Amino acid sequence: MPTLSSEPEGTSETGTGDYDRARASHLQREVAEGFGADAGRYDRARPTYPADLVDRIIAASPGRDVLDVGCGTGISARLFQAAGCRVLGVEPDPRMAELARQGGTEVEVAKFEDWESAGRAFDAVIAAQAWHWVEPVAGTAKAVAVLRPGGRLAVFWNAFDPPEDLRQAFGEVFRRVLPDSPSSGFWDGPALDAYRAGCARVAGMIGQTGAFGEPEEWLSYWERPYTRDGWLDLVRTTGGFTRHPEAIQRELLDGLGAAVDAAGGTFTMSGTTIAATAARLAA
């Protein structure tokens, strides 16, 4: 997913010696809280997740009680519900939570680290595009506490890789408009490389708890067509976009839109959903 400030999707650090960097995204609450400013656009523009990943998580779990951490507007929750699961969402933003409820997802408003399970247990704890907003040590410990023996923790992200010419063009726009932002270098290489590195570090932290079996990396591949307007709709939902002055927002959108126009007005995005996942041990 393109990032417009420091939304650390696929880049947060975990593991011994990297704890301060692992906390960085968790502490950037002003970025995370911006997603609810236009919850309807977020629900409309953000991509879904592959059915094969959903099926694989369910098949590898002991039952169908699912806890969706940072469920947002319910994009991932609806997929698991459609597959026959009972899903409870935990979402800190009441605006996002309300839209998820309207879509049929039961949601409790809280940060996952502070959420009270009231003795409830789950067969799977999932987090779609959200685990980097969770404090890594407390969040992992909470997942251990609420998972049944054999229950599965699965946290996943969508990595976007546009055609090479557009990737270069998008990078030029960000370097011109936001030369001092981490976003200016996001398009220098395939997004999947950064996401795989970040996901491996998350898996390392899961493994360090001693409460899970060997963490695994699961990959699902997909493609999605985008029009100019559809792409810009998505860009408006990325981390930190609305925190920029309106003039910067407009310059970014104009530049990115012009790049898509130059490519014919439409393009096909190659995507990979990458998951770090492990099963809770019996003891």
pLDDT tens for 80-131 read: 999 999 999 999 999 999 999 999 999 999 999 999 999 999 999 999 999 9
What is the model's pLDDT at position 31? 65
In 3-state terms the chain splits into helix, strand, coil percentages (rounded to 5) of 45, 25, 30
- Mean pLDDT value of segment 180-185: 77
What is the model's pLDDT at position 29? 56
In a domain, 243, yes or no: no
Residue 22, pLDDT above cutoff 60: no
Considering the chain, what is the average pLDDT of its residues? 88
Residue 264, pLDDT above cutoff 60: yes
Alpha-carbon distance of 65 to 88, in angstroms, equals 8
- Mean pLDDT value of segment 273-278: 97
> Under a CB-based contact definition with an 8 Å cutoff, are residues 18 and 201 in contact?
yes
Burial-class residue 208 by CB neighbours within 10 Å (0-12, 13-18, 19+). middle
Task: Supply 266's token pair.
Answer: 């439409």
What is the model's pLDDT at position 189? 86
Residues of the chain with pLDDT > 70: what percent?
87
Order across the sheet with 122-128: list the strands.
106-109, 86-91, 65-69, 122-128, 147-161, 266-279, 216-227
User: Does 12 or 149 have the greater pLDDT score?
Assistant: 149
In a domain, 254, yes or no: no
Q: How many other CB atoms are found less than 10 A from the CB of residue 276?
A: 27
pLDDT band at 59 (very low <50, low <70, confident <90, very high): very high
Q: Is 175 helix (H, G, I), strand (E, B) or coil?
A: helix
Degrees, nearest 5: CA angle 216-82-8:
45
Burial annotation 241-269 (CB, 10 A radius, 16+ → b, else e): bbebeeeebebbbebbbebbeeeeeebeb
In a domain, 245, yes or no: no
In a domain, 2, yes or no: no
> The domain that contains 73 carries what CATH number?
3.40.50.150
Name, in order, each residue with C-beta under 8 angstroms of 119's C-beta and a sequence gap of 6 or more: none
Residue 43, pLDDT above cutoff 80: yes
Residue 155, pLDDT above cutoff 70: yes
In a domain, 5, yes or no: no
In a domain, 234, yes or no: no
Give the number of domains in the chain.
1
User: Does 5 or 40 have the greater pLDDT score?
Assistant: 40
In a domain, 109, yes or no: yes
Q: How many other CB atoms are found less than 10 A from the CB of residue 17?
A: 7
Alpha-carbon distance of 173 to 47, in angstroms, equals 23
Domain housing 77 = 19-162+189-223+271-279
What is the model's pLDDT at position 242? 85
> Under a CB-based contact definition with an 8 Å cutoff, are residues 87 and 80 in contact?
yes
pTM above 0.85, yes or no: yes
What is the model's pLDDT at position 8? 36
- Mean pLDDT value of segment 227-239: 94
